[in-house]
Amino acid sequence: MSKALIVVESPTKVRTIQKYVGKQYAVAATVGHIRDLPERDLGIDIADGFKPLYQTIAGKQKVISELKKAASGTTDIYLAPDPDREGEAIAWHVAEVLKAKDRRFHRVLFHELTQGAIKEAMAHPLPLNRPKYEAQQARRILDRIVGYQVSPLLWRKVKAGLSAGRVQSVAVRIICEREKAIQAFDPEEYWSITAHLHAPGPPPFAARLIRHNGKKIKVADGQAAQAIVAALAGETFSVVKVQKKRITRQPLPPFTTSKLQQEAIRKLRFSARHCMSVAQQLYEGVELGPGEPVGLITYMRTDSTRIAAEAAAEAQALIRERYGDRFALDKPRFFKNRNKAQDAHEAIRPTTVANTPEKVARFLSKDQMALYKLIWERFVASQMAPALIDQNLVVIRAGAFEFNASGSTVHFPGFMSVYLSADDEKDIDAKQPQEALPELAENMALKLEKLDPKQHFTQPPPRFSEASLVKELEENGIGRPSTYAAILSTIRDKGYVEMLKGYFRPSELGLLVNDLLVANFPDIFDVDFTARLEENLDRVETAETEAPALLGTFYERFQGNLGQAMEKMLSMRGVGLATGIACPRCQKGEIHLKVAKNGPYAACDRYPDCRFTANYSRDEKGAILLAETPPEKASDKLCPACGLPMVIKEGRYGPFLSCSGYPKCKNTQSLEAPPTVQAPTGVGCPRPECKGQIVEKRSKRGKTFYGCNRYPDCDFAMWDKPVNQTCPKCNAAFVVEKTTKREGVLRVCQQPGCNYRKAVNRDE
C-alpha cells in the first residue's frame, strides 16, 4: 500500500513537515491555488445560483499530475494548506481533483510548523470545513462580479486598462475623501501663552494658559495675546492645586495581522507587502542548524488575539527567569476577540519563547531578525506586569488667569522594559522622565522668568500613510487583514494613488474615476455597505447565513446600479467633466476635463471648431489650473493642402505641425522622430496568416519590445525576447528569454500547457 499523502500549499514547507512526520507519509505541495475562475470570462453562472465555473490554472497541469501520481494507491489524504479561507478553498479543490472510490480526505491545520503542533494536528484530523470554503467562494464571486462588470464600463467611459474592485475602489474612495477634506479645510488662527516658571527647588518648568475667570480661554489672534501678556504684568504666580495620581498602563495584546503590519510599517519602515512576505518566511521555517528547519512564528494571517495556555505559561517562566518575579503575573493574561469568525487561529506569537532574538539572530536575515524581534517582544510583553506611571497635574493662578502644568515619571516600567509600541514611544520614554516637575505644594509662590506667546494654526486632517490606511480599513471593516497588502499595492499599480513623502495622495485619474464610481454606484462602493458585506461573509463562515441568499441580495442591488451606469455614466472620453472655466482660446466654449491614453487633460467643449487642449493641475483647494500653452513656432515647411507656412504646436502627444491658416485649413502633420533601426531576431511571426519576421523595436518611452516587421498590417508584439530555438518538449517554433533575480537567464516555452523552462549561461 502507498504511503498516506499530506498535501500542503507552499513547497518551502515540504521539507519541514517531512522531517517531523517521518517516512510513513509522502508530502507534496500545490504551490498555491490549482483551480480558479477563468481569466478572460466572468466564470459564474448567475442564473444557476451563482455557480462558479472553475478551471485548472494555466501552468498547474504538471502540479496536478504530480499530485495524482503521489496519491496513486493511497487511501488517506491529509489536506494541509494554510489554515485560512484561501487554504480551505485549496483543500476543497485538491479533494475534487483527487477524489476516488474509497479514498478518505482529512483536513489538518498547522497553526505553527513545529514538531509538537504538526504531530498534534495529524493525530486529530478534521473534516473539510464547508462554511469556510463557501465564505471564500462567496467573496471570490462578489469580487469577480464587481471587477468583471464595472471594469469594462470604465474602459468604455474613461480609459482602457482601468479596473474597479469591490474593496480596492472603497480604499481609493477613502483616500480621495480625505484629500477633499484637506482641500476644503480652512486654517484657523489661535495663540498659546506659556509661562516659564521657577519654584524654590529645581528644575524650572513651563505652564500653559488654560482659563480666565474660571472659563476655558481661547486666544484668537496676536492682539488678544498681547493684551493678556500686558494684563499679566505684575501679577503674582502661585500654586493653587497639586494633584498626584499613579496610573496603571496595561500591555497590548500579541499581534493580529493588521496590527503587525501597522507596527512594522511605523517601526521598521517595511511596506505591508514586505511585512507579510517576511512573516511568511518565519512561519514556514528557518534553518537553525544543518537540516533543522523550524517554524519560528505561528500562522501570520489572523484576526485573533487568543493565545494557547501553554504558550502563556512558557512566557511566564521566561519572564521570571530573565526579568524577575516583579515583572511576572500571578496568572497568565488572556485577551478577548470581537467575534467568532475571528477566533480560528491564535494571535501571531513565537512558536517558543526559548528561541530568543539573540539566540536565532545568526540564522536570520536583517529583515527576518527585525520582524521576529518585534513579534517576540510584543508577545513576551503581553504576559508581563503592567507599568506604573506617576502623573502630576498642577494648577497655577496669576490674577484672573489659570495655567496648567503636567509631568509624569515611570514608577515601575513593567512590560515597557521589553516593548514599547510606536504610540508608546511617542507618549512616554521609559528611561527618562517626561517634563519632570519640581516639588510643588499648594499656595507656593513661583517666580516668572518670561511669558511666551506663540501663533498657531489649526491643521487639516493628515493624508494616510500605509500604517494609518491599514488602521482605517480595519476600523471600518473594509476587507480583511490578509488582503490589506494586496489592496495597497493594487491601488498604486493601477495609478489611482501615488506616494508623496510616505503618504497616499490620489492621482488626478483616481479623483475622476472615484467621482464616477461613487455617483453611479452609491451603495456598492459605500464604506458602510462594504463593511456590512464583510460581516455577512463572516456569518457565512460561521454557518449563520447562506451564501446564495447573500449573493442574491447583493446582485439585485448591483444589477440596478450597473444598468443605470451603462446609460448615464459620464463619458470622460467624449463629453468630459464640465469645469465652468471659459476656454482661453475661443472665449466661447467651456473647458471640460477628459481622459485619453496618456491620462487626464483639459479641452474646449466646442471641438472640432476649437481645438484647444492643455495639461492641468489643481491648487491646494482643488481648483483647476490650466497649464500655459507653449507659443507657436515657425517652421520651414509649407502646408501641402493650401501652401501657407506650417507652424509647430504642442499637443497632448508632443509637438506637431499645423497649418497657420487654421481654422480655414485644418491640415496637421506628425513630428515624431524617425523609427529606430529594427534589429532582426531570426524568428518568424507566429501568426499563421503572416509571413513577417519578429524584430527588436523601441517604444515611444524607450522600452524595448519585439514585434512583426509587417506592422501595421500585422500588429503581433511581445515583451520577452524570442530565441530562434525549437522547444524540445512541444516542438514550438521558438522559445523566449526571461531574466529573474533568483534564477538568472531562463529560456521558456510560451505554448499553453508546456512547462519547458531551462536556465542558461548569459553567453549562450
Place of cell 516583579: 326
Helices 257-268 and 366-382 cross at an angle (nearest 10°) of 120
Peptide bond into 357 cis (omega under 30): no
Q: How far is CA 679 from CA 683, 693, 764, in A?
A: 11, 10, 19
Q: Out of 20, 78, 133, 299, pick the active-site residue.
A: 299
- Cα–Cα separations (whole angstroms), residue 490 to 29, 171, 273, 472, 476: 27, 10, 11, 17, 19
Return the number of other C-beta atoms located less than 10 Å from residue 437's C-beta: 21
Residue 629 cell numbers, joined: 500653452
555 is catalytic: no
Alpha-helical regions (H) of 695-734:
none
The cell for 654 is 508632443
Q: How far apart are CA 171 and CA 183, in angstroms?
A: 19
3-state secondary structure 476-543: CCCCCHHHHHHHHHHHHHCCCEEEECCEEEECHHHHHHHHHHHHHCCCCCCHHHHHHHHHHHHHHHCC
Instruction: Say how far apart CA 488 and CA 272 lie, in whole Å.
Output: 8
Residues 6+ apart with CB under 8 A from 642: 659, 661, 664, 665, 667
- Cell digits for 593? 476635463
Helix (H) or strand (E) holding 238: strand 237-249
Distance between start and end Cα atoms, the chain: 47
Amino acid (one-letter) located at 436:
A
The residues, any chain, with a CB within 8 Å of residue 607's CB and separated by 6 or more, are none
Amino acid at 120: E
Looking only at the bridges linking them, the beta strands covering 577-582 and 237-249 are unpaired
Distances (CA, A) of 410 to 117, 320, 328, 393: 40, 21, 18, 15
Phi, psi of 32 (to 5 degrees): 85, -155
- Residue 728: its H or E element: none
CA 56 to chain centre: 28
DSSP per-residue letters across 625-646: EEPPPPPPEEEEEE-TTT-PEE
Beta-bridged to residue 600, according to DSSP, are 595
359 burial type by CB count under 10 A (0-12 exposed, 13-18 middle, 19+ buried): exposed
**Known catalytic residues?**
299
